[in-house]
Amino acid sequence: MAEYPLLKQSIPSAPITVYPSTIQGLLDDISNYLYFDDKINFKTYIKSLATPPPSTQIFGLLGDSGESGLLSYTQAVANGIQSFNPNWVIHLGDANYDGAPEVTTNFLSYWASYNYANNMYLAFGNHDLDYDYGATLLSNLTAVASAIGASKIAQKLYCYDFVRGPVHFFVFNSGNTASGDTLNSGSDPFIQLADQINDLTPKIQNSTARWKIVVVHKPPYTSETVHRLGAIPMRLDYASLGVHAVISAHSHNYEYIVNDSVPYFVQGLGGATKRCAIDPRVSGAVFDFCDQWAYTMVTVTDDLLLFKTYDIDGDVRHVVSLAHPSPLSTPTSPPTPISQTYENMWFNLSSDGRPTSIEGYANPVWKSFEACQRGDMILTPANLAITSPWGSPGQTYNVITYTSSGFFTTPYVVPAAPAAPVGFQYKTFVGSY
């Protein structure tokens, strides 16, 4: 398991503040990775596979959307996910905070151009069950109704499983109460948690899929201010069951937690009121944020689950790479770094702030080449880089640079150089192209 952590931004100051960090587990593929070394040199780091890259699929994750008064953010999350043309989407619950008529206006209307009937799945949230115990949602989400089956729908036993690509998903219903601790029939007569566990546990154990992911609205672990410390009854022995990840919402923030080597993702920034994590953080807490609404795109192959969380501004906020413990692809010999020195670097930015090309002044010749496209980044400038308008000669910036020990900020003095083209900014960058 490899995580790509975010680095804090550093603005020009004295003394220089250093934020050491290390990038782990660069992906084995046919991409190049861009970085700066300790001499402000630009380098590419090439990694490749002995066999062609496996076919990939991508799916989206969102949770807690459709709150009246905030619907523009629900729409922004839906638009962001659909811009990746995902093979399928999983809503992690609380798709709509109002009544049955608002299922369309607050939720499905933002997915009108997407085949949500057959390609959207849902872990029922407490708000989804408040008004008609999910009946309106089931009438619109054909894939969910089919996976549950008519008999279990009649019993309101809303647990189910489904397979897409190399992933087997197991979806629990965590009931119509807000509290994580009251997952019992006294609070919700239809939850039937013991029956759900008896139904899904053997399927998890017997699944031969490459990846096994549990989906449940209420997170087993969370540090969010309202729902901490999580739905404790959902803390099953996922490691022994061979589960590779557990994904949830309910908490209105983003969290990444690891317990017993199992990663837990909380993605509840789908458009409802944001709420933050508080200290002391829950056991296993690694990373969280709550300052912007967000969604997660997951790229999946037989050997890789790559979770990239974007905010509605299009910035990557967190990336986690899960490598399969029994890879099918065999990497070649270790990659060879290739160096190229540039005295100055500029990134040509698109209208949404994405780098489209890179130019460097290597005395006396300008050089440029294509940068990565959206969706192909490992780390974006906003996550890793110090960004500033191009300054005057002699002006000092702090720049994140790479050394054998990791990434650091170091002072950089703007040299005498040609004026930066209009629309360019000075940035450091790590990514794939």
User: Which pLDDT band holds residue 97 (cuts at 50, 70, 90)?
Assistant: very high
Task: Say if residue 344's pLDDT is above 80.
Answer: no
Q: CA 314, CA 382: separation in Å to the nearest integer?
A: 10
- CA distances from residue 323 to 3, 206, 233 in whole angstroms, order as listed: 11, 21, 28
Q: Which two tokens stand for residue 263?
A: 């990663």
Specify whether 47 is located in the same domain as 129: no
Residue 80 sits in a domain whose CATH number is 3.60.21.10
DSSP state of 424: E
Specify whether 399 is located in the same domain as 302: no
Specify whether 337 is located in the same domain as 317: no
Specify whether 256 is located in the same domain as 366: no
User: Which pLDDT band holds residue 187 (cuts at 50, 70, 90)?
Assistant: confident
Tell me whether residue 433 is in a domain: no
Specify whether 412 is located in the same domain as 299: no
Buried b (16+ CB within 10 A) or exposed e, 341-379: ebebbbbbbeeeebbeebbbbeeeeeeeeebbebeebbb
User: Which pLDDT band holds residue 341 (cuts at 50, 70, 90)?
Assistant: very low
* pLDDT of res. 355: 39
Sheet with 294-300: list strands edge to edge: 2-4, 316-323, 304-311, 294-300, 57-62, 88-91, 120-122
- CA distances from residue 4 to 1, 147, 276, 384 in whole angstroms, order as listed: 10, 35, 21, 10
User: Which pLDDT band holds residue 91 (cuts at 50, 70, 90)?
Assistant: very high
Tell me whether residue 432 is in a domain: no
Specify whether 106 is located in the same domain as 42: no
Q: CA 325, CA 318: separation in Å to the nearest integer?
A: 22
Tell me whether residue 103 is in a domain: yes
Task: Say if residue 83's pLDDT is above 80.
Answer: yes
Tell me whether residue 431 is in a domain: no
Q: CA 214, CA 265: separation in Å to the nearest integer?
A: 10
* pLDDT of res. 15: 36
Task: Say if residue 258's pLDDT is above 80.
Answer: yes
Count of structural domains, the chain? 2
Specify whether 366 is located in the same domain as 235: no
* pLDDT of res. 416: 53
pLDDT tens figures, 289-339: 999 999 999 999 999 999 999 999 999 999 999 999 998 865 544 444 333
Specify whether 39 is located in the same domain as 144: no
Q: CA 268, CA 91: separation in Å to the nearest integer?
A: 10
Specify whether 129 is located in the same domain as 185: yes
pLDDT tens figures, 197-244: 999 999 999 999 999 999 999 999 999 999 988 899 999 999 999 999
Tally: H helices and E strands in the chain = 10, 23
Specify whether 90 is located in the same domain as 121: yes
Is this structure's pTM higher than 0.75? no
- CA distances from residue 225 to 88, 275, 287, 290 in whole angstroms, order as listed: 31, 7, 15, 11
Asked if 160 and 145 count as a contact pair (C-beta separation under 8 A), the reply is no
* pLDDT of res. 27: 39
* Residue listed under structure tokens 């692809």: 329
Domain boundary among 255, 288, 323: 323
Is the model more confident about 357 or about 182?
A: 182
* pLDDT of res. 417: 46
Specify whether 70 is located in the same domain as 148: yes
pLDDT tens figures, 20-70: 333 333 333 333 333 333 333 333 333 333 344 457 899 999 999 999 999
Task: Say if residue 272's pLDDT is above 90.
Answer: yes
Q: Which two tokens stand for residue 175?
A: 């009931």
Tell me whether residue 430 is in a domain: no
Specify whether 285 is located in the same domain as 347: no
* Residue listed under structure tokens 């990694």: 47
CA dihedral angle for residue 253, residue 7, residue 41, residue 17, rounded to 10 degrees: 150
Task: Say if residue 348's pLDDT is above 50.
Answer: no
* pLDDT of res. 190: 87
Domain boundary among 291, 323, 355: 323
**DSSP for 278-290, written as a single string:** -SSPPTTEEEEE-
Cis peptide upstream of residue 229 (ω within 30 degrees of 0): yes
Q: What is the mean pLDDT of the chain?
A: 73
Q: Supply the range of the domain harboring residue 25.
A: 2-51+332-425
Mean pLDDT of 71-75: 98
Asked if 121 and 137 count as a contact pair (C-beta separation under 8 A), the reply is no
Tell me the residue type at 386: I
User: Which pLDDT band holds residue 189 (cuts at 50, 70, 90)?
Assistant: confident
Tell me whether residue 154 is in a domain: yes
Handedness of CA 63, 64, 65, 70 (dihedral sign): negative
Domain boundary among 297, 323, 349: 323
* pLDDT of res. 184: 65
Asked if 405 and 398 count as a contact pair (C-beta separation under 8 A), the reply is no
Is the model more confident about 279 or about 397?
A: 279
